[in-house]
Amino acid sequence: MAIAAMATARAPLTSSSPSRVPNVRAAFGKNGGGRDSVTTAIPGRRQLMKGLVLAPLLWGAAPSTAPLEAKEVEVGSYLPPSPSDPSFVLFKATPKDTPALRAGNVEPYQFILPPSWKQQRVANILSGNYCQPKCAEPWVEVKFENEKQGKVQVVASPLIRLTNKPNATIEEIGSPEKLIASLGPFVTGNTFDPDELLEASVEKIGDQTYYRYVLETPYALTGTHNLAKATAKGSTVVLFVASANDKQWQAYEKTLQAMLESFQV
């Protein structure tokens, strides 16, 4: 079963809205910790209004189906402290956590979390349980949330949805901008506009390449601020998304950035 998609009609902003001036700057440098990064800043304003949702199921309400198991307690009560920063705990995904990991369709991944966060249930229809190991559309791996700080989720997309080349690297799929154009709706929960992309960067961790994104998404279901990090491995592209509303972002931007930074496959 494919995740439902709906086309949207977009109404232009009024004539009093400032026009977007193309002005793309590229900055190259080291990102610390031996990680090479290339960052593209994309300033500008949205010129199109948002309408109906494109991919609401990944973040919004889902049909009543059996949920994927989750612990309704703070993660600090059962996850170990992060070796790099004891103020966080470390989540390492294993085959017992998701259907795709049990099917061998996703490589294990990890990231850090504040100990006060809680894992959220993932409905069976969103977990890919019904289509593993040959899902045709993206699915949700895991979700965590703290009402005061924000939420994160891991989304996996079959590689064949993005390229015909088996076991392609993320560079072979295309540029950071091309990838987010395809996966952006699964970051926002509805639609994606290129003007929402504030920054795109390329990061190397060992032999693995990651694309990182900073988005300002005033019409997103997920929140007005989104961070994302993606990589390709095996037959899947894995996408980590951290989301917050304005209040959460103002207080916990650094926390969400640290979580994004820690994500590895």
pLDDT in tens, 227-258: 999 999 999 999 999 999 999 999 999 999 99
Q: What is the pTM of this model?
A: 0.76
- pLDDT > 70: what percent of the chain? 73
The whole-number pLDDT of residue 134 equals 87
Q: What is the pLDDT of residues 54-88, one digit of tens each?
A: 344 455 444 333 344 566 799 999 999 999 999 99
* pLDDT value for 5: 38
**Residue of 151, 153, 150 whose CA lies nearest to 249:** 150
Q: Provide the pLDDT confidence category of residue 214 given band limits of 50, 70 and 90.
A: very high
Query: For residues 187 and 244, is the Cβ–Cβ distance under 8 A?
Result: no
Return mean pLDDT, the chain.
Answer: 81
Rounded to an integer, the average pLDDT of 199-224 is: 96
User: Which of 11-15, 176-180, 201-205, 208-212 is predicted least confidently?
Assistant: 11-15
pLDDT of residue 235: 93
pLDDT value at 115 more than 80:
yes
- Cis preceding linkage at 133, omega within 30: yes
Residue 125 has pLDDT above 50, yes or no: yes
- Decide: 26 and 39 in contact? Cβ < 8 Å: yes
- Is the predicted pLDDT of residue 34 greater than 90, yes or no? no
Burial class (CB in 10 A: 0-12, 13-18, 19+), 246: exposed
Q: How far apart are CA 200 and CA 185, in angstroms?
A: 16
Nearest to 184 by CA among 144, 202, 211, 166: 211
Tokens of 150: 């924000």
The pLDDT value given to residue 142: 97
- pLDDT at position 62: 41
Measuring CA to CA, which residue among 178, 125, 124, 159 is closest to residue 4?
Answer: 125
Residues with Cβ within 8 Å of residue 55, at least 6 apart in sequence: 3, 5, 138, 185, 186, 189, 190
Query: What is the H or E stretch that residue 27 is in?
Result: strand 25-30
Question: What is the C-alpha separation between 159 and 30, in angstroms, rounded?
Answer: 29
Query: Given a cut of 60, is residue 33 above it in pLDDT?
Result: no
Which listed CATH number (3.30.420.40, 3.40.1000.10, 3.40.50.10420, 3.40.50.10800) goes with 57-262? 3.40.1000.10
Q: Mind listing the pLDDT tens digit for each residue in 144-162? A: 999 999 999 999 999 999 9
Label residue 216 by pLDDT band (50, 70, 90).
very high
pLDDT over 60 at 26, yes or no: no
**Of 47-51, 88-92, 209-213, the least confident:** 47-51
CA dihedral 73, 75, 76, 77 (to 10 degrees): 40
What are φ and ψ of residue 191, in 5° steps?
-120, 165
What one-character-per-residue DSSP string does 74-88 give? Answer: BGGGTSPBPSS-TTS
Q: Residue 260: CA atoms inside 13 Å, Cβ hemisphere, count?
A: 25
> If you count them, how many residues does the chain have?
265
Q: What is the 3-state secondary structure (H, E, C) of 185-223?
A: HHHHCCCCCHHHEEEEEEEEECCEEEEEEEEECCCCCCC
The domain segmentation of the chain, as residue ranges, is: 57-262
